[in-house]
Amino acid sequence: MEVVASAPAKVILFGEHFVVYGEPAIVLAIDKRAYAKVQLRQDKKLQMSSKNLKLTVCYENDVLKIRNGNEKEAKFKFKPVKVAVDKVFEKYGQYVGLDIEIESNVPVAAGLGSSAAVAASVTAAVSALLNVEMSKEDVFRITYEAEKVVHGTPSGIDPAISTFGGALLFQKDTGFQSLDVKMKIPLVVGDTGVIRTTRFQVEKVRNLKKRYPQLVKPIFLAAREIVLRAVEALKENDLETLGELMNINHALLYGLGVSDESLEWLINAARKAGALGAKLTGAGGGGCMIALARNQELEKVLEAIQSAGGTPFIARKTDEGVKIERK
């Protein structure tokens, strides 16, 4: 018997970095997904493999053995997955042997929530295989625990969007609010190919905020106003306003020092090709940017990003969060 589950990637439309300090952010699930296939083993070993990363590990009595790939990378990539599996085992009441195969079409370390999508899909697949009753809130909480291993003190955005899908308004003190977005939001995502860590970029903003509190304060107020106006634009299906707000949001992030040359090349190329708006998404310092364009301009914007050195793909909003694909 095997179970396959999947969970979506995400883009942050508005509010990254500011969200760490209690400001609101808008996050969108996109139609790129991570898949986890889980099977029972006859022994008590836990074997995990990633097709994309060409890594395989095996835990035997909690001792890690590397079967394939770089040891340091394998330890780092599978540690959050192991946390998720252990949490499901706690609910199940015992440890069993499992084969877990992960396959993802989400770019890694690019700000698209790859690790959360993997953790959510693994959590759902393992619990379904073992017939452990698991609500979406349970999946979210376990995925959040797994994300702590990756990001230290994550905002909770990635686990939430991978679990629930759709569009969410998130604020630290009030949590998540589902946005009933009817519009399609046609996006081109451009991957710079520059790998960076969220932790480093968050520290950069924290240090700047400490050094120049009075200068940074109005930037944060502007970021809040952008999100509030964007919520209205989404309700009114107003693509033009969304694009303008994306451009302003990116300018604020640039001012905080979290953009870089690789992102600026792609953002400028997208705007010149007719994008209504373009900005970095996620932590910055590399990773991905997003461009909003009308349907008829999508291919043109995609080609421009490609010509500027990025790896682009067209992304659409998906309302499907974590789900069982087959059982």
Catalytic positions, written as ranges: 158
C-alpha to C-alpha distance for 277 and 270, rounded to whole angstroms: 8
Query: SS3 for 172?
Result: coil
| 8 Å CB contact between 45 and 97 | yes
Cα distances from 56 to residues 59, 63, 100, 119, in angstroms, run: 10, 14, 10, 16
The structure tokens listed for 24 are 């609101």
The structure tokens listed for 25 are 């952010």
| 8 Å CB contact between 170 and 157 | yes
**In terms of Cα–Cα distance, which of 11, 7, 5, 8 is closest to 31?**
8
The structure tokens listed for 86 are 């252990």
What sections of the chain are H helices per DSSP? 71-92, 114-129, 136-151, 157-164, 198-211, 213-235, 239-255, 261-272, 298-307
Angle among Cα 247, 202, 73 to the nearest 5 degrees reads 110
C-alpha to C-alpha distance for 285 and 196, rounded to whole angstroms: 6
